[in-house]
């Protein structure tokens, strides 16, 4: 996310003023697989290139660990590496040193790396995923939190987020070197009742399909997406309570649902039409949620489900024009 890039630069400038490693080790947690998977690597290398030029230092060796769950398509990432590395060498010239890139499958709610081995941890739009949905919830008509969800459900999801985020911080504190950093971006929200996200549209789409007997009602009643979008206050409270990191920045940034689709387009005439925007939103939502939905409702209904989802997004964009959500951008420093 481009709006998080200045915060990443700030964190790395501070890191490099304290630690000037011969080999800079960076972990990207929840890297996914797609056209933007390697963007962080380019950003980090460019930032360090600028910093070392200012300080008249030699570029370090780079080592990147790309992490996601075992089902992630790491093969497609690996196949894209030769072109990526060739482009780096062309752009950076002979002064550019070795760059090692490793796949690290596993849940970031467990240990991933040896003690005191990582200089920078990055995670973009992954930490709103919980380790599991709260158990024994009664939320029959909704697949996720909505403004009509009972207070007990809000409490249960908040408690699960607090437990998971605290565990995440504890695990990373063991892996990050003293003075190392973390830059985390995740979906957030302004307040408990202000909840209108793509997750809500998933719930209404599922309900429609239940009413048309395309999905079994009992399957919807037992389904809850393991997602929680925290407020600034909720995230800050966990960070301070866990205590391993100093909070450098915690900001809320409002973005459109179609995110970076037009980030490089300034001319209004060149902006994509609503149908293409709805397709873009549907594509990234499907990539993130289809494994869970398919496991619960079956592969045979997925195409129909996401067609209906896209149509609902299209209609919302026709009615509202701009669909926005808050994102939390968090910059942390590991206490020595």
Q: What is the pLDDT of residues 193-250, one digit of tens each?
A: 555 578 888 989 999 999 999 999 999 988 888 999 999 999 999 999 999 999 999 9
Burial class (CB in 10 A: 0-12, 13-18, 19+), 118: buried
Length of the chain: 336
* Geometric angle at alpha carbon 36, from 28 and 16, rounded to 5°: 45
Question: What's the confidence (pLDDT) of residue 195?
Answer: 52
Which 8-state DSSP code applies to residue 215?
S
Q: How far apart are CA 296 and CA 290, in angstroms?
A: 10
Query: What global pTM score does this model have?
Result: 0.89
Domain boundaries, the chain: 2-334
Question: What's the confidence (pLDDT) of residue 92?
Answer: 78
Q: Where are the beta strands (DSSP E) in the chain?
A: 23-29, 61-68, 99-105, 118-124, 176-187, 245-256, 324-334
Q: How far apart are CA 279 and CA 276, in angstroms?
A: 5
18 pLDDT exceeds 50? yes
Q: How many CB atoms lie within 10 A of CB 316?
A: 17
Helix (H, G, I), strand (E, B) or coil at 97: coil
Question: What's the confidence (pLDDT) of residue 14?
Answer: 93
**Nearest by Cα to 124 from 328, 333, 334, 289:** 328
Contacts of 260 (CB under 8 A, 6+ apart): 1, 2
Contacts of 37 (CB under 8 A, 6+ apart): 31, 66, 77, 80
Q: How far apart are CA 230 and CA 197, in angstroms?
A: 13
Mean pLDDT value across residues 1-30: 90
65 pLDDT exceeds 50? yes
Quote the tokens at residue 324. Answer: 């926005």
Q: How many CB atoms lie within 10 A of CB 132?
A: 12
What confidence tier does 268 reach under pLDDT thresholds 50, 70, 90?
Answer: very low
Q: How far apart are CA 249 and CA 277, in angstroms?
A: 31
- Interval 116-154: pLDDT, tens: 999 999 999 999 999 998 876 656 667 777 777 788 888
**Nearest by Cα to 236 from 121, 331, 133, 125:** 331
What are the two backbone dihedrals, phi and then psi, of residue 145, each rounded to the nearest 5 degrees? -60, 135
**Nearest by Cα to 154 from 191, 186, 123:** 191
Q: How many CB atoms lie within 10 A of CB 181?
A: 27
**Nearest by Cα to 52 from 86, 27, 85, 17:** 17
Q: How far apart are CA 51 and CA 72, in angstroms?
A: 33
CA torsion sign for 142, 145, 146, 151 is: positive
CATH hierarchy code of domain 2-334:
3.40.50.150
Q: How far is CA 264 from CA 45, 176, 216, 329, in A?
A: 21, 34, 43, 21
What confidence tier does 265 reach under pLDDT thresholds 50, 70, 90?
Answer: very low
Question: What's the confidence (pLDDT) of residue 288?
Answer: 83
Q: How far apart are CA 142 and CA 148, in angstroms?
A: 9
Look at the block and give the residue holding tokens 């594509």: 283
Q: Which residues pair with 65 in a beta bridge?
A: 27, 102
């Amino acid at each position: 996310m481009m709006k998080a890039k200045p915060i990443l630069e700030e964190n790395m400038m501070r890191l490099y003023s304290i630690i000037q490693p011969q080999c800079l080790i960076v972990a990207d947690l929840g890297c996914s697989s797609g056209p933007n998977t390697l963007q962080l690597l380019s950003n980090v290398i460019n930032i360090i290139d600028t910093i070392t030029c200012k300080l008249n230092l030699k570029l370090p060796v780079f080592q990147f660990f790309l992490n996601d769950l075992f089902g992630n398509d790491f093969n497609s990432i690996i196949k894209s590496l030769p072109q990526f590395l060739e482009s780096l060498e062309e752009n950076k010239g002979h002064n550019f040193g070795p760059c090692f890139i490793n796949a690290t499958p596993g849940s970031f709610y467990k240990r991933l790396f040896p003690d005191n081995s990582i200089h920078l941890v990055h995670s973009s739009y992954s930490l709103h995923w919980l380790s599991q949905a709260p158990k024994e919830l009664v939320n029959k008509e909704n697949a996720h939190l909505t403004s009509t969800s009972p207070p007990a459900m809000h409490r249960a999801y908040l408690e699960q987020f607090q437990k998971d985020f605290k565990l995440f911080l504890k695990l990373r504190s063991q892996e990050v070197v003293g003075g190392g950093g973390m830059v985390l971006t995740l979906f957030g929200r302004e307040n408990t009742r202000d909840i209108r996200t793509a997750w809500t549209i998933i719930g209404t789409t599922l309900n429609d399909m239940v009413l048309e007997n395309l999905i079994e009602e009992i399957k919807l009643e037992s389904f809850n997406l393991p997602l929680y979008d925290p407020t600034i206050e909720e995230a800050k409270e966990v960070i301070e309570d866990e205590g391993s990191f100093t909070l450098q920045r915690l900001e809320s940034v409002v973005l459109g649902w179609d995110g970076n689709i037009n980030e490089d387009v300034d001319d209004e005439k060149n902006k994509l039409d609503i149908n293409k925007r709805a397709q873009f939103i549907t594509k990234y939502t499907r990539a993130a949620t289809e494994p869970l939905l398919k496991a619960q409702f079956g592969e045979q209904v997925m195409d129909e489900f996401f067609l209906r989802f896209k149509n609902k997004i299209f209609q919302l964009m026709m009615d509202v024009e701009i669909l926005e959500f808050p994102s939390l951008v968090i910059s942390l420093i590991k206490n020595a």
